[in-house]
Amino acid sequence: MERLQKILSAKGICSRREAEKLILDGRVSVNGVTAELGQSADILADDIKVDDEFLSFTPEHYYIMLNKPRGYITTASDDRGRKTVMDLVSQLDVRLYPVGRLDMESEGLLLMTNDGNFANIVTHPSSGKLKTYEVKVSGKVSDVIPTLKEPMMVDDHLVKAAKVKLKEETKNGAILELSIVQGRNRQIRKMCGNVGLEVLSLKRICIGDVKLGSLEPGKWRYLTDSEISSLTSVGASSID
């Protein structure tokens, strides 16, 4: 027996959060009875339906890397008509959803899948996967890099130490390579703001050992078996 939201996400129907909403909206039933949040079911013995359609338990899993351009939002749909990352993978005849987020003005490496277990492992803090960003900033950098490397308060939460490397000095600022374990909403932008830096551009270039490489903006590719294995391995983070 497993909780319904775990069953739905593990079988590629949606994320766990979306599954909870489906259940709360009364769109999931077990053996003909509308399901309740927190309910468990047996995938082998129970008839589970979503929107009156029996749940299939043999999905083909897809794992892709997208180079998200600026101007796209990381969501499956948008009621304001803005461009979403789904527009960039529409040629795939399968429902994917993003693993984590990049805000509208950020770009770079975004994982997408229909495998809920994969998404849960990659995003869970215990995975210890560093997320590395190339950040162009304006402001006086040299004096604040030590502070950026230390734990700091972001939105009333203490975020863990970051790994910061000065890649290049520019006329009015610098290009930094910044790695974090956590990924709170707009965390890097807020960290830089805390020390008086303005973020001019932000691109995620790496998650764990998986690198964006030369993939062009707006393009995607399938992850290799070794990349999938690397992302689902659990290990301690390496901030130093």
Residues in a beta bridge with 68: 108
**CA dihedral in degrees (232, 237, 238, 240; nearest 10)?**
160
Write down the catalytic residue from 42, 51, 93, 103: 103
Sole residue written with tokens 């162009």: 136
Q: Which two tokens mark 235?
A: 């290990």
Question: For the residues of 85-121, what is the DSSP string, one character each?
Answer: GGGGGTTSSS--EEES---TT-EEEEEEES-HHHHHH
- Give the three-class secondary structure for 179: strand
Q: Residue 240 catalytic?
A: no
DSSP class of 195? T
CA distance 223 to 64: 5
For residue 191, what are the CA distances in angstroms to 87, 153, 229?
Answer: 31, 8, 31
Q: Which residues are catalytic?
A: 103
